[in-house]
Structure 1
Amino acid sequence: MTTQPHVAIAILNYNGKKHLENYLPFLVNLSYSNYSVWIIDNQSTDDSIRFVNTNYPGFKTIINKNNGGFAAGYNQGLAHIEADYYVLLNSDVEVSKDFLGPVIDLMERDKSIAFAQPKILWLRDRTKFEYAGGAGGVIDALGYPFCRGRVLETLETDTQQFNDNKYIFWASGACMFARVSVYKELNGMYPLFFMQNEEIDMCWRAQNLGYKNAVCGSSVVWHLGGGSLEWENPKKTYYTFRNNLIMLTRNMPVARLAWLIPLRTGLDFIAGCRYWLSGKANIGKAVFSGNIAYWKWLFGKKHNGKFPAGRGFINTCNGIYKGAIVWQYMIKKRTTYTQITNNEIT
């Protein structure tokens, strides 16, 4: 009998005992035979690790030296884990008993797939797709990410319309399957990001090297998540706007960046003003701060002046909508993935 590839399910934790209590039980006795569960702790101050060690002695724990957020936190922890595949799993995700098998089978059949995800539904309303991943991440021509089943702040109802397997632009960090060899080849996620856009950047870099990313529609998990509330958090807003610009600069061809960065920073300025004038000055300030931090990064030394080489973007990457999502959503009032893309995304 052929041994299944070893899958290491890794949960990054920071003061998340409540989530661990609620969702670790679903990781016991999965239908997949060769898996391990790891809790990577970012210096929690609660008794999360004691809870795991007491109640789940078969699960393994790693305590990071510091809290490096999502990106550096996973990089530090995963460096200690040997496996064929990682599954980066948010602590607030409920998994189905058989969620591993279909995705691993897909990645075993197609060795070009670096990162993949299952279909991610919303735990608060299981009929809808969840904000942080939906049925696979895509991106528009201006570098704005969205999902099959989730366009900006609109969550679509799951009517089995995305039960297929498909190449996508990025796989969600809420439940990301990673081919370990590629994760190491890419040196993991960009630590500076801390949170927001780190998995998109990594998936993009994988495509720049000729790999693909995919969604497996026959596997499903349910994510509690925060939905549009994420935009109401100034810290997350800051990282979202800063990191998106950094991601574009790290991955796009220079000729495209020459006109795109001025356009994007102008659109960000408008967005910041709209927040400010609508009474959300703290969110507007975060948008402006994120843009200022981007320019400091660009002319600073944190990136050592080196960027991965973009391979062409529009013609070489999967999961790109060649139009502008903001125009379709805000002006034309098209709010679903199919309305906007007309299934034109390859």
Structure 2
Amino acid sequence: MNRTAPEVEGGARAVIGRRVHVKVPATSANLGPGFDTLGLALARYDELEIEATDAATHDITVHGVGEGEVPLDGSHLVVRAMAHTFARAGVEMPSVRLVARNSIPHGRGLGSSGAAIVAGVIGASGLLEGIVDFSADDLLEIATELEGHPDNVAPALFGGLTIAWVTPDGPRHKKLIVHRGVSPLVLVPEQEMSTALARSLQPESVPHEDAVFNVSRSALLVAALIQSPELLLQATEDKLHQHYRAQAMPETDRLIRALRAEGHPAVVSGAGPSILVLSSDPSERAEAIRLVEEAAQTVWQPLPLAVDFLGATVSTPGD
């Protein structure tokens, strides 16, 4: 982080009146075998208008997903992420006027909490531009501190396919461009899933052969996504986490098995319960939708989505 020292001292006053527009994509983490490592940015977005004010309290409005459900005070996750970023910068955070227009489903394995955290981090960085400047590694580190692991926040920040890992110096990432033949489909159920519950169902250790299996499939998956989509069915096989979580989302598990039996590269999206199908042809998405409509016992919303290649963006009015 680069600081303009005289400005930091009065940083809260310096940002009053500044406004930014933030746009953050949905993400799908794990992608089958790439547990806590691989993530994909998807073209479905939360958009926010954020203004620093001298008011006594925050003024928060939410439209779309989460409207009437999420808190409208300092405990709102975007505001908490902003406060954490200001604190890391050594600048007192002012009150904010925030208007959020959300379309990323909550509790469905599409990175909604990661998106909120990223929105707060880059929103704060936009307000602090020229006072405290953040590098890409700074942004990833701050977001990971709040999220706990980088597999969702990395693709939300940077777009595309990301490989994320943690070093003694903090989290790092590598962004890769997905092959144009990959056509993602997300199937979203009505019910939510707790990420904490999903993680609690995993054992503390796994058999050596299962670990080796996933190492090979994770490597193959990277090749399949950037170069050889015809390998996606084999590349999305997993033995580390999905079958352990199946008991908490039985219909997700049943539909994934049905899809894969018909040749569709289907996996749990993040912690679930949504399903991600990494089709290698748009026509395969239509067939996967038809199969789920016939086999599902509850309502599932199909979302044919493009891969987002930009990641989170922050701009000021007039840009």
Please give the TM-score of this superposition, normalised by the length of structure 1.
0.26
Please give the TM-score of this superposition, normalised by the length of structure 2.
0.28
Higher RCO, 1 vs 2 (CA within 8 Å, ≥6 residues apart): 2
Higher strand share: 2
